[in-house]
A and B are shown apart, each in its own frame.
Chain A
Amino acid sequence: MICETRIICIGNGYIASDSAGSAVYQELQQMQLPPEIQLIDGGLAGLNLLPLLENIKRIIFVDNVSGYDEEGAVIVLDEQEVRTAFGNEQYGHDAGLPYVLNVAPRVCEGPPPDIIKLVGIEGTHNEDSIRAAAVLSLKLARGE
């Protein structure tokens, strides 16, 4: 089966304010994912996430977000919203998803993904928000 979708959970499981992606990754590991969906712990890869944006139709990122909604909310941002987030143009050691998505079309090989979305968890998380984010990520990955 050719992998058509990647769920890429990013962040640092050892830093509380950035650990939602890692927690969702662990939650998704417990679920039965169909073979066409690849689950990846993107961790702190930053610019080195770029190869994961190649040869894929749909990408669902999961990460902490800040400044979008109420504490604990689970939201979905489309590609354009992520590309206009803070830190979207300048490269630094802290270059994150906004920079990666902006530079990707200029440096990646092959056709770009049809769909890129971010499932964001605002601020601190709990079991409910992690579960909700995992279920939502899976729905989006299935194209639902």
Chain B
Amino acid sequence: MKEKATQINLPLNRAEGDLEVLLEVKDGRLEDAWSSGTMFRGFEDMMKGRGALDGLVVTPRICGICSLTHLTAAVEALDKLSGVRPPDNAYRLRNIALMVETVQSDVRHSILMFMVDMVNEMAYQHFNMFAEAKFRYSPMQGAMANEVIRETKRLLKIIAIIGGQWPHTSFMVPGGVTSIPDQTKILQCTMIIKKFISWYEKNILGCSLARWGEVANNDDLDNWLEESIEHRESEVGFMLRFLRMAGLDLIGSGPNRYLCFGNFPLPDKTDVTGINGKLLAAGYAEGTAVDEFSDDLISEDVSHSWYEQQDEPLHPFEGGTVPSAVSNENGRYSWVKAPRYDGKVVETGPLAEMIVNRNPLFVDLVERQGSSVLSRQLARLVRPALLLPNLMKWLEEVAQDPEAPFYEKVGAIPDGQSAGLVQAARGALGHWIKVVDERITHYQVITPTAWNGSPRDRQKNRGAWEEALIGTEIKNEENPIEAGHIVRSFDPCLVCAVHTVKK
């Protein structure tokens, strides 16, 4: 006899107090899921009527963890609107700062927020790797947990140097950057990054960046894992072994459509190579088939969100953010909107970056068995291996040409509309702005978590992580750890705008 479906709330409060995921379990499997953002932020309406440049100061306060990414999106929109191309050194410094924020976030999330779930006693105490997991990841006590905080803390000095201050720098302005670090400061940044790369190679990869770069498919990955004790005991090696043992390479497949806005514009003169003027190309992929990206195909559906309803999904240049939380009628259940690309549900984040940019390892993993918790989290933990060498090159290039300009003069911001589209650590981030008489008349922000954690759309299509949950076996309804792993592999981020001390 089939069991009656039961509903459980996924206990995500440890990390995300303003995210609720309601799960429906039947016959031991997840039959349905509803993801709800429970906090209204309303930054978009706050921007209306402000000065054209105010996004540079206000939007970094949307998020404490990716504040530089918001700054980058805001300034890119204003660059385009002004018709200015910042000098090469400005692009280098902006890219370096954004890379530092991304690398810091990737390592912290992987160890402090994702691997910490491997010390869940009820689920994993019978694993022979459990004692080692506790040693590495236990909150406050874990050796690697504390080491990650210590090492990533040092990276902040780079942002302080490049940004001219910390916290809350607004050093990016239309036309370039406001701070010009001297040779000594650039050398200091170089030393910090070199030290971090050594630590990352030894502890996270267990090998050199170059050796990791040779891992081009699943067979290579297996061979790499068997090659040495350093590989197996590294964070990447431990994660691979633990997640495979837990079956996390087999669950959490998302919509199998991937979106990347592209990132890190290339200076005119640089040794860093990329695609279409960026280190990371923009693109949309169905499976591993990559297509060109078009901003025009983005729309926001609010049919299941607590906002004033629209006749149809609207492009962010047209859509509003007017709250309307009068009831849950017609199935509304979230403050998060449902962004769609060409009307489709997509996943964004490090794995999407890898697929869109044809990284051979991740293309192979996804072609073999689709996306999974493991492929999503592995992409995040090894992304710094791709970014750090380019960060070093840009530091060297700034040091070689310190007298070159860092700023191109920009006059008044003209009337018009523009978009700043970048990649945050968690995925595609967009700011859409309209300006009239040097005042903002319209501002829309779509965050990565809106893409990944959206509610249903008017066709009743679930959001990306809602979809990734469906069909997952839940071994213990008292401890639905499998669902937690799936949602966390997307690195949900909803609450970092508020940090009140509570008794």
The docked-state distance in angstroms from the alpha carbon of A29 to that of B61 is: 20
Q: How far is the CB of B105 from chain A (nearest CB, A)?
A: 10
**Across-interface contacts of B15 in A (CB, < 8 A):** 90-94
Given contact pairs A12-B497, A15-B498, A43 touches B168 in the complex (Cβ within 8 A) = yes
Bound Cα distance A66, B499 (Å) = 11
A30 at the interface (CB under 8 A from B): no
A44, A47, A96: the one contacting B108 at CB < 8 Å is A47
Nearest-neighbor residue (CB-CB) of B160 within chain A: A51
Q: How many residues of B contact A (CB 8 A)?
A: 42
Q: Which of A40, A43, A89 is B64 in contact with, Cβ under 8 Å?
A: A43
Which residues of chain A have C-beta atoms less than 8 A from B65's C-beta?
46, 93
Closest B residue to A88 by CB, please name it: B140
Which residues of chain B (82-110) have a CB below 8 Å from chain A? 108
Task: Decide: B140 and A10 in contact? CB cutoff 8 A.
Answer: no
Q: Are A66 and B502 in contact (CB under 8 A)?
A: yes
Which of A13, A15, A45, A120 contacts B501 (CB under 8 A)?
A120
B16:A92 contact, CB within 8 angstroms: yes
- C-alpha gap A40/B166 in the complex (Å): 9
Contacts A46-B64, A50-B149; is A92 near B502 (CB within 8 Å)? no
Is A63 in contact with B149, judged by CB distance below 8 angstroms? no
Chain A positions 10 through 28: 1 when the CB is less than 8 Å from some CB of chain B, otherwise 0: 1111110110000000000
Q: Are B113 and A92 in contact (CB under 8 A)?
A: yes
A107 to B46, CA, bound (A): 38
CB distance from B383 to the nearest CB of A (A): 18
Closest CB-CB distance, A95 to chain B, in whole Å?
8
Most chain B CB inside 10 Å of its own CB: which residue of A13, A48, A50: A48
Which stretch (A79-87, A125-133, A135-143) binds chain B? Answer: A79-87
B residues within 8 A CB of A96? 499-501
- Measured CB to CB, the nearest residue on chain A to B499 is A96
Query: In this assembly, does A56 line the interface, its C-beta being within 8 Å of a C-beta of chain B?
Result: no
Min CB distance B183 to A, Å, is 23
CB of A43 within 8 A of CB of B167, answer: yes
Contact of A94 among B46, B112, B149, B499 (CB under 8 A): B499
A96 and B13 CA atoms in complex are apart in Å by: 14
Asked if B67 lies at the interface with its beta carbon under 8 angstroms from chain A, I say yes
**A89 contacts across to B, CB distance below 8 A:** 139-140
* A window 18-68: CB within 8 A of B: 18, 40-51, 63-68
Across the interface, name the chain A residue whose C-beta is closest to B138: A89
Q: B488-500 vs A: 1/0 string, CB under 8 Å?
A: 0000111111111
Determine if B246 is an interface residue (Cβ-Cβ < 8 Å): no
Task: Please tell me if B156 contacts chain A, counting CB pairs below 8 Å.
Answer: yes
- Scan residues 107-122 of chain B and give those whose CB is less than 8 A from a CB of chain A: 108, 112-113, 116
A103 interface residue per 8 A CB criterion: yes
Question: In the complex, what residues of B have CB within 8 A of residue A85's CB?
Answer: 501-503
Q: How far is the CB of A1 from chain B (nearest CB, A)?
A: 20
Give the interface centre of B16, B63, B149, B166 by most chain A CB atoms within 10 Å.
Answer: B149
Interface positions, chain A 75-123, Cβ under 8 Å from B, are: 77, 82, 85-87, 89-98, 102-103, 106-107, 118, 120
Contact across chains for B167 and A48 when beta carbons are under 8 A apart: yes
A120 to B153, CA, bound (A): 26
Interface residues on A, range: 35 or more
- Which of B14, B145, B499, B502 has the most chain A CB within a 10 Å cutoff? B499
B495 to chain A, nearest CB (A): 4
B58 at the interface (CB under 8 A from A): yes
Whether A45 lies near B146 (C-beta < 8 A) is no
Residues B134-165 near A (CB distance < 8 A) = 139-140, 145-146, 149-150, 153, 156-157
Q: Is the CB of A63 within 8 A of B501?
A: yes
B43 part of interface (Cβ distance < 8 Å): yes
* CB neighbours of B17 from chain A (8 A): 92, 94
Is A44 a contact partner of B16 (Cβ separation < 8 A)?
no
Q: List B contacts of A47 (CB < 8 A).
A: 108, 149, 153
B502: nearest residue on chain A (CB-CB)? Answer: A86
Q: Which residue of A lies closest to B41 (CB)?
A: A15
Are B503 and A91 within 8 A (Cβ)? no
- Contacting residue for A42 out of B112, B139, B167, CB 8 A: B167
Do the beta carbons of B500 and A64 come within 8 Å of each other?
Answer: yes
Q: Beyond A14-B43, A14-B61, is A44–B499 a contact (Cβ under 8 Å)?
A: yes
Chain B residues within 8 Å of A90, by CB: 14-15, 116, 139
Asked if B61 and A44 make an inter-chain contact with CB atoms under 8 angstroms apart, the answer reads yes
| Listed A/B pairs (24) with beta-carbon separation below 8 Å | A12-B61, A12-B497, A15-B497, A18-B499, A44-B63, A44-B64, A46-B65, A47-B108, A48-B64, A48-B153, A48-B166, A49-B167, A51-B157, A91-B108, A91-B116, A93-B15, A93-B65, A93-B496, A94-B18, A94-B495, A96-B499, A98-B501, A102-B140, A107-B153
B residues with CB within 8 A of A = 14-18, 41, 43, 46, 58, 61, 63-65, 67, 108, 112-113, 116, 139-140, 145-146, 149-150, 153, 156-157, 166-168, 492-503
Going nearest first, the 7 A-B pairs with the smallest beta carbon separation are: A44-B64, A67-B503, A92-B15, A96-B499, A86-B502, A94-B495, A91-B112
18 extra interface residue pairs, beta carbon distance < 8 Å, beyond A11-B500, A93-B65: A12-B499, A17-B500, A18-B497, A41-B167, A45-B64, A47-B108, A49-B167, A51-B153, A65-B501, A65-B503, A66-B500, A67-B502, A77-B501, A85-B501, A86-B502, A91-B113, A96-B501, A107-B153
